Structure 1
Amino acid sequence: MNRTIFAGFVLPAFAAVLVSCSSGAQESHNAADVTFAQGMIPHHRQAVEMSSGVPRHTGNPKVRELAQRIEQAQQPEIDQLAQWLRDWGAEPMDHGSMGQGAMPGMVDTGGLDRLKDAAYDREWLRLMIEHHTGAVEMARTELAQGQDAGAKAMARRIADAQEAEITTMRGLQG
């Protein structure tokens, strides 16, 4: 009788535990998630760098406020993306070895520092629109191909926020 109970109840329960443990051990992320995080970190870093220079070049309060919002939103995302890469055992992308065209929206900011006021605003807005358009493209790729729920949620937030900021920037262009 005891053997029947063991075989009829305990073994199936043990098998169910093993199945649930093994399904939980599956990767919660895939290669698209890693690519998204590896690419978005240097992409966001460029946006933070571009935004941090705004106060030195323009007094336009609308451009300055937008740049501050971009910087404040993207630095925490950089930190989260880097944490995911560590959790996933993946290396960050070497930003120094990439060309400007290596990912969507990376822009050449070489002449930006020589500009001031309205000329700076026009060029910064033009470059940031291009930059944001690339980020939206990267986010949409993550939404279509990614697996990790957190990375996909961030991709949705990035796409929504940056599409709204593109609309704002187009309005500031006049």
Structure 2
Amino acid sequence: MRRRHHFGLAAVALALTATLAACGGDGTPTTPSSTPTGSGSAASASDHNAADVMFAQMMIPHHQQAVEMAELAPGRAANPAVLTLAQQIGAAQAPEIETMTGWLEAWGEPTAMPGTGGHGGGHGTGDMGMMSADDMAALQGASGPDFDRKFLEMMIQHHGGAIEMARTEQRDGQFPDAVALAGTIESTQTTEIETMKGLLGTG
């Protein structure tokens, strides 16, 4: 009986050692930064799932297009509130692109979904609120109140797609930082949609 008891303790100790090793040695899951180094990269591999990878791979080109749209506002927007909003969107989403790129690199995953050409080419027209090439050309060619209207209408659609992806990540994701970012995106962009609807109503 004593030997069987010792064997059971050894098995428990072995399992505990493995658990602690996976959690970074102090019993709490490791949460690598967006620019992991050394063991942080290896630890991150056990902290994410396929939903986290898809969220980052899809949101990066989505954010990139939003930044491109925002960069068209200076010199084209007539309403100062539209210009301010565009600058706010660009300032928020550019750093998030860098963060998500860092996660994918740490996980050893491509920063673009296979077949997308590195810039959202696999999403399809209108998918997740993405603008088509014709949409972007129309926005680039607009100015004054026409630009303001197009920008607001397109960005409302664009934000709607981002919110949908963010909700999916919050439901299915595993990586704590990605789930937290998804919550921030949903909250921020929901507020921005209300602002943009208000601007359209007064334009």
TM-score scaled by length of structure 2: 0.76
Pick one of 159, 173, 177 that aligns with 1:150: 177
C-alpha separation in 2, matches of 1:98 and 1:16: 44
**Secondary structure at the counterpart of residue 92 of structure 1:** coil
Q: Which has the higher helix share?
A: 1
**Secondary structure at the counterpart of residue 83 of structure 2:** helix
After superposition, where does 1:27-106 map in structure 2 within 5 Å? 27-93=46-112, 94-95=118-119, 97-98=121-122, 100-101=124-125, 103-106=127-130
- Higher mean Cα deviation, 62-71 or 50-59? 50-59
Deviation string 1:70-101 (CA, Å, 9 cap, x unpaired) is 00000010000000000111001121643543
Deviation string 1:140-159 (CA, Å, 9 cap, x unpaired) is 01111111110000000000
Higher relative contact order by CA 8 Å / sep ≥ 6: 1 or 2?
Answer: 1
2:48–2:173: 8 Å Cα contact kept in structure 1?
A: yes
2:67–2:89: 8 Å Cα contact kept in structure 1?
A: yes
Task: Tell me which amino acid in the other structure corresponds to 1:106.
Answer: M
**Secondary structure at the counterpart of residue 57 of structure 1:** coil
Paired-residue identity, %: 44
Change (3 A) 1:113 1:153: same
C-alpha separation in 2, matches of 1:119 and 1:110: 13
Deviation string 1:113-165 (CA, Å, 9 cap, x unpaired) is 22111111001100000000000001001111111110000000000000000
Task: Tell me which amino acid in the other structure corresponds to 1:73.
Answer: A
- Alpha-carbon deviation of 1:50? 0.3
How large is the Cα RMSD of the aligned pairs?
2.4
1:139–1:155: 8 Å Cα contact kept in structure 2?
A: yes
Q: Which residue of 1 aligns with 2:167?
A: 140
Structure 1 unaligned blocks of 5 or more: none
Task: Tell me which amino acid in the other structure corresponds to 1:95.
Answer: H
Structure 2 unaligned blocks of 5 or more: 24-28, 30-42, 113-117
| Count of residues in Structure 1 that have an aligned counterpart in Structure 2 | 170
